[in-house]
Structure 1
């Protein structure tokens, strides 16, 4: 899901057929815009006008009878002496964020596959991003060059892992697989609800710590492990299986499902012929842990 630049470099260096093209875009190095996926994403974000629209709406641009572009540029020229530019845009890839696989079938072992990925990884195709930033424009922000202070994180570190844990849980998977065929459209994802857990809520700490142990392994997550206070990643298959079962059991409680409902979901969940994780022993383990947590 990430590390794409290294993969494409390997393919490029080891190509042996004349008809194999090199990679079209790279994830970083905006000094070479013709090769930079990051530059392409920044350009697209600027042209889509999300930041521009936020400024236009916040400062009553409709009353000016000017276009969005003219109104915003005039306002910023007055406040800071510079119009809106691509450098004012913050990219999703500047922060840890949740992504999920777009290609998914209801007959797969798991339909929803989500992950927190580290910064500087650009996703262009087949991987959807949950926006890590919200835009909040104030009078003071308009003086900044660039306007990065208008972007606020949508999730704390702990909330990020609570959400990815719930997205990867059996209850959410049971729900989303009723809605998809071969892809997870944005609107179907957004209409599929998860519990909104914040710090202090029951199950908040239990779920985020386990999701972080499953997600935060390897050098790319060293900084995040430190930010979370020193997470010990689960790396062996037996350990990961145990932690995932605990997370799944807690998710049933967070959704408010009683034992009968939980047993029904586990019994009705689609089985594949050769499961990697979701075998009968695993489903039984989840139910046992549900009882323990109750």
Structure 2
């Protein structure tokens, strides 16, 4: 067919309608983000407190204030313990796998091999969860050993992690380096399991929530211990020096008595002076002679210029002049 015309093709530009956010869409986007943050903050353990409005209270004594703080902290502690019960995972019941026994030479060889390699699995604030075991199995696919590094690790917690990881992964803990590193060996007859994340472990999200509650619980318990110590010190202070409120009242009473005594003495003195009578016969003579500077100087000069009449046979004595 010679008379057929070719169809023309035109490229259609994509719509620019939603390319830029309008003012309304930007507001809606920010509103959605704000609602997400609010939902996330509701689960934050720092917001957990006993129900009811927060009231500002005035306490009569320091003892009442400390006791109120301890009582409130213990309520929060009980609430956190209840929350943590949701994250407890029961251990899977089944036959226990015995760890492989290695000779001294084999252990030495595995340690040297682990030192040369740099592959590792980190354990952070979430602790041990399914992702850690999964990463260990993925490392064991190509390497015989793997290092597990626990960064926020308390003293003595490394050995607990080592026992737990041995149970969950089926590997052998060869060496504990310092307070934060464990070397694991996969075993001689290692076979990668089909399910590499054990059932009796938490997910990544739940492990983070659990770590937040645990951190909050630890802080609350530390606060309770400090408050109880403060209360004990207060009782000791009262036993030694007495109640500060009664002592202040006694001091105020003493000061008030002293002020009364002082005021009464002042009144008596003023009365004594007011009762004195001035002698009317005594008159101050304003014409009494007063010495001036000129007169005193002239008197001194006259005394210095006066000559003493010497008797016969007496020699005149000159007064030595010393330098000024």
TM-score norm. by structure 2 comes to 0.17
Higher relative contact order, chain-length normalized (CA < 8 Å, sep 6+): 2
TM-score norm. by structure 1 comes to 0.18
Larger radius of gyration: 2
